[in-house]
Amino acid sequence: MIEFKEAAVVAPETGVPILHPTTLTLDERRITIIGANGSGKSTLARLINGLALPVSGSVHVDGLDTRKHGALVRRKVGFLFTDPSAQLIMPTALEDVMLSLRRVIRSKNERVKAALAALEDIGLGDKGDVSVNALSGGQRQLLALAGVLTATPLVVVADEPTTLLDLRWKAHVGALLHALPIQLIEVTHDLESATKAQRTLVIDEGSVVFDGSPVDAVAHYRDLMYRKAPESRA
Amino acid sequence: MSPTLGSFRAGASPLHRLPAWSKVLTLFVWAIVSMIITDPVTALGLCAAALLLLVSILPSPKPTLKGLVFILFVAAMTASYQVYRGYVAAGIDIAADLVGLFALSLAVTGSTSMSEMLDFATRAARPFRRILPPTVPGLMFAIMLRTIPEISNIMRESRDAAKARGIRRSPSAFMIPTATRTVGFALDLGAALHARGIGDEALTDPPDSRRVRLTAPAGTN
């Protein structure tokens, strides 16, 4: 269970609020977060695994404060970034997955076996020795997901995981994410994907402006954006 | 990818089967010996042996040849300077040393996977664990290798963006976006390391039995 208690974030130098004090309890299996660029939705997502810390208030995951127990929280919360290139560290696919396993599996042979199994599970079984630079964007995102999942998280937070992907990979990665047997919190601009959830948050100008059923949330968001778009006012 | 870096190819050659530490040690000793020996005939012999070792691992031909052409050019420049000064034997010795060491280092990196190198660097750094967590040096090396192709991508995109806006001659139109985007990439990489818990040395629990399994949806891969 994820709990925000009056958690607020401000820009470090200017003091401009990025997220106004927010109180939320997130325990549904599938939650989506939508909002305009710069609305604060990525910051909200990053608060969950302690990549961003609140300047006031607190965020707890399974009762652990992200400020005091950051490393423990990050072991429970896997994070998938928009651009998988920055998330992949090792030169080949197999080595990158093995890197996630270094902490939990000491024996190298066991680590190779576990990493190969993870690649097989995600459909990259034949790409183990391939350089990560030679993988397509979709394959990179799958590899990043494999790296996240081998660390056996309880929650996956995905920050626009399909924004850079073509339609085929978007469908594939989206389907994999939605089939995960763990909690998934997805930040997305894909309104169709946003409705495949039990609960959707709409973020605008640093506040949660809607929290409820996905279909109503998308309608609220569309209305909000069209009202703000300069062209639609004319 | 850069011809000299990350050129590992899986194989079954004798060099592939040797442990990483023995290869790194050989490279180190070879470098010292070839610097001490100044006899051009011995130097040429060592160079030929290194080239044979390189061939024995069956490296990817194109990047290897590209790398060799580059080092041959450097060696030729250095040798011709020595010959010009009248030191023919020294010219041959230096050129042979350069090519030999380069070939041997390609043979080592081409036959050793990054994981083996990481494990080796981690073990080698263990005596210094009070100053530096043992996994850090290996990780630094891996990140360096990973960053090189990304930076060259950023450079290409910045150059194209400047060209597309009709700015061809201004170095700042190329340098500034390259620098800022490189910093941006470094920040993203740092966030990803953080998110993946890499470097959280103090927390080493026994392996977890939970494993998240995935089933790929049919027909999409």
| pLDDT tens digit sequence for B123-137 | 887 787 777 776 777
pLDDT, greater one: B108 or B141: B108
Angle at A190 between CA A82 and CA A146, to 5 degrees: 40
State the total domains in chain B. Answer: 2
Which residue among B145, B205, B212 places its CB closest to the CB of A91?
B145
For residue A207, the model assigns a pLDDT of 94
pLDDT, greater one: A233 or B128: B128
For residue B139, the model assigns a pLDDT of 80
For residue B208, the model assigns a pLDDT of 44
Average pLDDT, chain A: 90
Q: Is residue B203 one of the residues assigned to a domain?
A: no
Domain boundary among B112, B145, B175: B112
Domain span holding position A26: 2-233
User: Hey, what are B113's tokens?
Assistant: 């996977």
Q: Is residue B29 one of the residues assigned to a domain?
A: yes
For residue B206, the model assigns a pLDDT of 40
Give the model confidence (pLDDT) of A155-181 as tens digits: 999 999 998 888 888 888 888 898 899
Which residue among B139, B196, B211 places its CB closest to the CB of A100?
B196
How far is A66 from chain B, CA to nearest CA, in Å?
Answer: 12
Please tell me the least confidently modeled range out of A125-134, A205-214, B99-108.
A125-134
* A129 to B188: CB separation less than 8 angstroms, yes or no: no
Residue A233 binned pLDDT confidence (cut-offs 50, 70, 90):
low
Same domain, B147 and B63: no
Residue B4 binned pLDDT confidence (cut-offs 50, 70, 90):
very low
How far is B98 from chain A, CA to nearest CA, in Å?
Answer: 27
Share of chain B above pLDDT 70, in %: 86
d(CA B20, CA B42): 26
d(CA B15, CA B59): 12
Average pLDDT over residues B46-67: 91
Domain boundary among B112, B146, B171: B112
Which residues have CB under 8 Å from A154's CB, separation 6+?
A: A62, A76, A77, A182, A183
> Where is A209: in which H helix or E strand?
strand A207-212
Same domain, B19 and B69: yes
Domain span holding position B175: 126-195
Alpha helices in chain B (DSSP H): 14-17, 20-36, 40-56, 61-84, 88-111, 114-124, 135-164, 171-195
Is any Cβ of chain B less than 8 angstroms from the Cβ of A168?
yes
- pLDDT for B212 beyond 60: no
Same domain, B54 and B82: yes
Please count the other Cβ atoms lying within 10 Å of the Cβ belonging to residue B98: 20
Residue B67 binned pLDDT confidence (cut-offs 50, 70, 90):
confident
Average pLDDT over residues B146-170: 84
Q: Is residue B215 one of the residues assigned to a domain?
A: no
How far is B191 from chain A, CA to nearest CA, in Å?
Answer: 7
Which residues does chain B have within 8 Å of residue A168's beta carbon, measured at their own beta carbons? Answer: 220
- pLDDT for B205 beyond 50: no
Residue B214 binned pLDDT confidence (cut-offs 50, 70, 90):
low
Same domain, B99 and B42: yes
For residue B76, the model assigns a pLDDT of 94
Q: Is residue B1 one of the residues assigned to a domain?
A: no
* A122 to B196: CB separation less than 8 angstroms, yes or no: no
Same domain, B54 and B130: no
State which residue of chain A sits closest to B192, comparing Cα positions.
A87
Is any Cβ of chain B less than 8 angstroms from the Cβ of A164?
no
Same domain, B134 and B103: no
* A91 to B8: CB separation less than 8 angstroms, yes or no: yes
How far is A209 from chain B, CA to nearest CA, in Å?
Answer: 28
d(CA A76, CA B7): 35
Q: Is residue B166 one of the residues assigned to a domain?
A: yes
Residue B6 binned pLDDT confidence (cut-offs 50, 70, 90):
low
For residue B170, the model assigns a pLDDT of 81
For residue B221, the model assigns a pLDDT of 41
- pLDDT for B77 beyond 50: yes
Q: Is residue B71 one of the residues assigned to a domain?
A: yes
d(CA B98, CA B101): 5
d(CA A229, CA A234): 9
Which residues does chain A have within 8 Å of residue B6's beta carbon, measured at their own beta carbons? Answer: 91, 131
Average pLDDT, chain B: 82
Which residues does chain B have within 8 Å of residue A72's beta carbon, measured at their own beta carbons? Answer: 203
- pLDDT for B217 beyond 70: no
Same domain, B19 and B106: yes
Interface test with B, best of A95, A108, A110 (most B CBs within 10 A): A95
Q: Could you tell me if the ipTM is greater than 0.85?
A: no
Average pLDDT over residues A130-139: 86
Average pLDDT over residues B17-37: 92
Same domain, B18 and B107: yes
Same domain, B18 and B73: yes
Interface test with A, best of B60, B62, B117, B146 (most A CBs within 10 A): B146
Same domain, B108 and B137: no
Q: Is residue B143 one of the residues assigned to a domain?
A: yes
Which residue among B9, B146, B214 places its CB closest to the CB of A122?
B214
Q: Is residue B207 one of the residues assigned to a domain?
A: no
Contact B103, B54 (CB under 8 A): yes
- pLDDT for A197 beyond 90: yes
CATH of the domain at A170: 3.40.50.300
Is any Cβ of chain B less than 8 angstroms from the Cβ of A148?
yes
Same domain, B36 and B95: yes
- pLDDT for B215 beyond 60: no
Same domain, B67 and B107: yes
Which residues does chain A have within 8 Å of residue B195's beta carbon, measured at their own beta carbons? Answer: 49, 51, 74, 78-79, 81, 87
Chain centroid to CA B82: 29
